[in-house]
Amino acid sequence: MLHATSEDFDESLRLLSTRNPNPVSSHYLVPYLEDPTYKENNLKIYRLVDENNRAWHAGVSQWGEESSLNDRSIGIEVVNNFKCDQLETAKEDEATIDLECTFPDYPQSQIDILAQLINEILERHPGIGPVDIVAHADIAPNRKSDPGPKFPWKQLYKRGIGAWYDNDTMSQYSLEFKQQLPSVQDLQCALAFYGYPIEISGSHNLQSRLAFRAFQLHFRPADYSGVLDPETAAILYALNEKYRAASSNNCDR
């Protein structure tokens, strides 16, 4: 599970390694060289919790049929000083989700060492599949936005890490959905089938917009307003066809 710290290295390390009233921890912390609080000459990974032990990084969370993901996940905090309003400030009657957020870029050297770490984890835990490599926002879309739209998921996919859709399949679905977009209920079912926590309500209400916003942050970061559109639907159906072996256009599963 990939997180962004929203703090510099010093503060991130303090929060993750010392006792405080709201305990938080992760298995790994990944700094970057340009951080003025990081004093090392070379990048190194900080292992804070053994992979075989539970860390407190996910909070209230769900992916697929699994919940309380602290019990069964490896948390990686990536130092990135993003800032974003709390998602709880979004109003139920808003048509889109327009939060004030700033997401800095991730330096390439940081991504390189992160990719090395993840590949080592995958070697130790071959049961982790592509769709199981997720963002904090993916498993808690009503609370979280990290690691944000600047995180290079597609680059990691090209290095054998995580999931991504096939362009040809997505384009075929896009042509179809430009003529007729699936119903809200079918899209919610498709998103739940992929793994996202979402209530199948048939109404594109706040919880639905937040879930699709998280999906867009991961797979369509150019626009993560939470609006349902043909491109978002096409990416989702292409992912389900590739990884879930189904078009996922109904709830009868």
* pLDDT, tens only, 47-87: 999 999 999 898 889 999 998 898 989 999 999 999 886 55
Give yes or no for a contact between 200 and 181, defined as CB atoms under 8 angstroms apart.
Answer: no
Q: What residues contact 15, with CB distance under 8 A and at least 6 apart?
A: 5, 7, 24
- Would the pLDDT of 94 be above 60? no
Tokens of 172: 């075929």
Kind plus residue range of the DSSP H or E element containing 83: strand 83-84
Given a contact cutoff of 8 angstroms between Cβ atoms, the answer to whether 117 and 93 are in contact is: no
- Residue 93 pLDDT exceeds 90: no
CATH 3.40.80.10 location in the chain = 2-158
pLDDT tens by residue, 218-235: 999 999 999 999 999 999
**77 flagged as catalytic:** yes
Q: Is the pLDDT score of 89 beyond 50?
A: no
Q: How do beta strands 46-47 and 66-67 pair?
A: unpaired
* Assigned token pair, 170: 């997505």
* Residue 67, token pair as written in the block: 């919940």
Domain covering 167-244: architecture: Orthogonal Bundle (1.10)
- The residue from 77, 100, 120, 231 that is catalytic is 77
Where are the domain boundaries for CATH 1.10.101.10 in the chain?
167-244
**Under CATH, domain 2-158 is a member of which superfamily?**
Peptidoglycan recognition protein-like (3.40.80.10)
Question: Would you give the DSSP letter of residue 182?
Answer: P
